[in-house]
Amino acid sequence: MAQRRLEVSGVVKDIDRLSALHNAILYSILSLLPTKEVVQTCVLSKRWRDVWCSVPCLDFDETDFCKFIDSVLQFRDGSNVTNFCLTWNVMDDFSPACLWMIMLARHNVEIVDISCNNRSHQVIKFPPNFFGL
């Protein structure tokens, strides 16, 4: 993270302009990153520890991290999720995806984009009334 130094009365102070941004701007910037990188920002400072919990766009693109997705959805605060994108090589078990849909419904998800490489040609069954029909 780039920092500038400010000299006031002979005292040099570090200025962290990124952490000084309003949450809405931080969320907008972080929404452009893969979710795994967004979560990693929690180690930057106390200010950043919980910022990732409210980022409205979730973007996953890996094959071996169901537990990671579970954790991200479980530890989110009450804020809405506008986008959920997932590219997933599914072999047989779709049950994690059904649980994720239930969690996302609780966060008023607006857009769900799931790309599956499904060799078994199984159908994903979404929870009843997931789409608010």
CA–CA distance, 99 with 93 (Å, rounded to integer): 12
Residue 86 to residues 28, 51, 54, Cα–Cα distance (Å): 19, 21, 18
| Side-chain-side CA neighbours of residue 27 (13 Å) | 16
Mean pLDDT of 98-104: 86
Identify any residues that bridge with 90 across adjacent strands, giving them in sequence order: 118
Report pLDDT for 28. 92
**Closest by CA position to 53, among listed 32, 83, 80:** 80
Q: Which amino acid is at 46?
A: K
Report pLDDT for 133. 44
pLDDT confidence band for 17 (50 / 70 / 90): confident
